[in-house]
């Protein structure tokens, strides 16, 4: 059955790269990462925090309404990105559109602060619950944008944002909406969250120039680093003149788990999700894959093996942005989509500086984006220009 075209009419983000497309692209062109050393849990560790301009945007949001002062950073990030995306798409509060913005961990910082206070005093603050529920993000975005469509929040760990895209596509193709705002937001830079990653022995202890060695398939230690940010895109049914890109294929799959964070040696979930997204596409037409590639030994290698299984020896160009901005958990998929769209718009491949060199030999017109999270929930989205 012929599926209706889905147009991406805007994409916006707040991340360590900035919140304006021009600045984000310039940051992608240089070979500098966004990591800095912070003292967390009384230890020096690398994290990727928002750039100064994005911090100002978030601060202005918090100061603009007394109700916003009590919100978690993940909500403010989502609100900032959503306002910009809606403006860029030309939507107004009179438009009826759905919202699906998820998060891997939700109001991480705020929840931990409320819980610490409860442990000390035995009492919880009045707003502790309503400001830390997972539905908090989309609800506040809907309030800020004065929207009248459905509001949905969810958590599917690190593939959350791309699952939001899947859901938006489903609503649009089912005729239940004409427009959908989808994405993910994450502010995970807390002592406890990083301690959890250290407990899994996947957080970077590297002191190298590039401490996150995503796509270095010969690395001897795990090098994942956390970052923060949010990204949203505006989806519309049909082929729109102002489209930045089109969603040509979608795929999803779930790994059969052997333990809580397992993924098979050749990432069968990715093989299935990529094949589903590419079922109507000549593999040779795919120009770039933006990999999930979190910087862990097994995560990077198994995804690479899955790509080899699907594409054989004729691989597209491979890249990731996690060496530069870290792993933003539930927001990471949309930030990867942003990189994909920027590469297509500028017709320029952005590689990983320490990985094997790859040469662009043709225009970039089709890009595949991968994401996967704990539980083996993989998503693949094929974009075309």
Give the model's pLDDT for residue 61.
87
pLDDT tens column, 96-106: 999 999 999 99
User: CA nearest 233: which of 223, 244, 241?
Assistant: 244
* Mean pLDDT along residues 159-176: 96
pLDDT at 268: 85
Residue 260: is its pLDDT beyond 50? no
User: What stretches of 224-321 show up as alpha helix (H) in DSSP?
Assistant: 268-277, 297-311
| C-alpha dist (Å) from residue 8 to 169, 222, 303, 312 | 11, 35, 26, 30
Q: Which domain holds residue 114?
A: 7-384
1 belongs to a structural domain: no
> What are the tens digits of pLDDT across the range 114-129?
999 999 999 999 999 9
Q: Could you tell me if residue 2 is inside a domain?
A: no
pLDDT-derived band of residue 135, with 50, 70 and 90 as boundaries?
Answer: confident
Tell me the β-bridge partners of 367: 288, 383
Q: Is the pLDDT at 258 greater than 70, yes or no? A: no
* Residue 70, H or E segment: none
As a whole-number percent, the residues of the chain with pLDDT over 90 amount to 84
**How does pLDDT run across 35-74, given as a tens digit for each residue?**
998 877 777 899 999 999 899 988 998 899 999 999 999 9
For residues 72-89, average pLDDT: 96
Instruction: Supply the CATH number for residue 101's domain.
Output: 3.40.47.10
Report yes or no: 165 and 152 within 8 Å, Cβ to Cβ. Answer: no
**How many structural domains does the chain have?**
1
Radius of gyration, CA atoms only, the chain: 20
Partner residues linked to 377 by β-bridges: 254, 373
Rounded to two decimals, the pTM is: 0.95
> Residue 1: what pLDDT?
44
Q: What is the mean pLDDT of the chain?
A: 93
In a domain, 327, yes or no: yes
pLDDT at 342: 98
pLDDT surpasses 60 at 282: yes
Examine the pLDDT at 235 and tell me if it is beyond 50. Answer: yes
Strand order in the sheet with 288-290: 151-152, 98-102, 179-186, 229-237, 6-14, 245-254, 377-384, 366-373, 288-290, 317-319
Q: Is residue 126 part of a domain?
A: yes
Residue 262 has pLDDT above 60, yes or no: no
The arithmetic mean of pLDDT across residues 152-168, rounded, is: 95
- In angstroms, the CA 249 to CA 362 distance is 21
pLDDT tens digits for range 214-227: 999 999 999 999 99
Q: Is residue 274 part of a domain?
A: yes
Q: Is residue 284 within 8 Å of 360, Cβ to Cβ? A: no
Q: Give the pLDDT confidence score for residue 77 in this predicted structure.
A: 96
Q: Is residue 71 part of a domain?
A: yes
Taking 50 as the threshold, does the pLDDT of residue 152 lie above it? yes
The answer to whether 241 and 9 have CB atoms below 8 angstroms apart is: no
Tell me if 68 is assigned to some domain.
yes
At 301 the pLDDT is 94
Q: Could you give phi then psi for residue 24, rounded to 5 degrees?
A: -60, -45
Residue 341 lies in a domain: yes
pLDDT at 366 > cutoff 50: yes
């Amino acid at each position: 059955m012929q599926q209706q075209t889905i147009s991406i009419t805007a994409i916006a983000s707040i991340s360590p790269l900035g919140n304006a497309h021009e600045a984000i692209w310039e940051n992608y062109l240089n070979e500098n990462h966004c990591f800095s050393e912070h003292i967390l849990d009384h230890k020096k560790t690398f994290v990727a925090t928002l750039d100064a301009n994005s911090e100002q945007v978030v601060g202005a949001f918090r100061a603009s309404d007394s109700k916003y002062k009590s919100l978690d950073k993940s909500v403010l990030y989502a609100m900032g990105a959503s306002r910009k995306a809606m403006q860029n798409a030309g939507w107004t509060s009179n438009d009826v559109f759905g919202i699906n913005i998820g998060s891997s961990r939700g109001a991480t910082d705020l929840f931990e602060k409320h819980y610490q206070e409860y442990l000390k005093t035995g009492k919880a603050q009045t707003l502790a619950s309503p400001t830390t529920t997972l539905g908090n993000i989309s609800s506040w975005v809907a309030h800020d944008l004065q929207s009248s469509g459905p509001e949905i929040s969810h958590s599917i760990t690190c593939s959350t944002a791309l699952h939001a895209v899947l859901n938006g596509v489903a609503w649009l193709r089912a005729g239940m909406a004409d427009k959908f705002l989808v994405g993910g937001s994450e502010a995970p830079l807390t002592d406890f969250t990083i301690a959890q990653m250290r407990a899994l022995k996947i957080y970077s202890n590297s002191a190298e120039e590039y401490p996150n060695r995503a796509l270095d398939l010969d690395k001897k230690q795990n090098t994942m680093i956390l970052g923060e940010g949010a990204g949203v895109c505006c989806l519309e049914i049909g082929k729109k003149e102002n489209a930045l890109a089109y969603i040509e294929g979608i795929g999803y799959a779930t790994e059969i788990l052997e333990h809580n964070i397992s993924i098979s040696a050749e990432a069968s979930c990715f093989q299935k999700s990529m094949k589903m997204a590419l079922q109507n596409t000549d593999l040779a037409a795919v120009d770039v894959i933006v990999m999930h590639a979190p910087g862990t030994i097994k995560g990077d290698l198994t995804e690479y093996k899955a790509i080899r299984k699907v594409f054989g020896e004729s691989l597209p160009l491979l890249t990731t942005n996690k060496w530069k901005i870290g792993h933003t958990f539930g927001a990471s998929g949309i930030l990867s989509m942003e990189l994909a769209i920027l590469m297509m718009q500028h017709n320029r491949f952005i590689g990983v500086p320490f990985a094997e060199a790859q040469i662009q030999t043709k225009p970039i017109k089709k890009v595949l984006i991968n994401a996967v999270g704990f539980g083996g929930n993989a998503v693949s989205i094929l974009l075309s220009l």
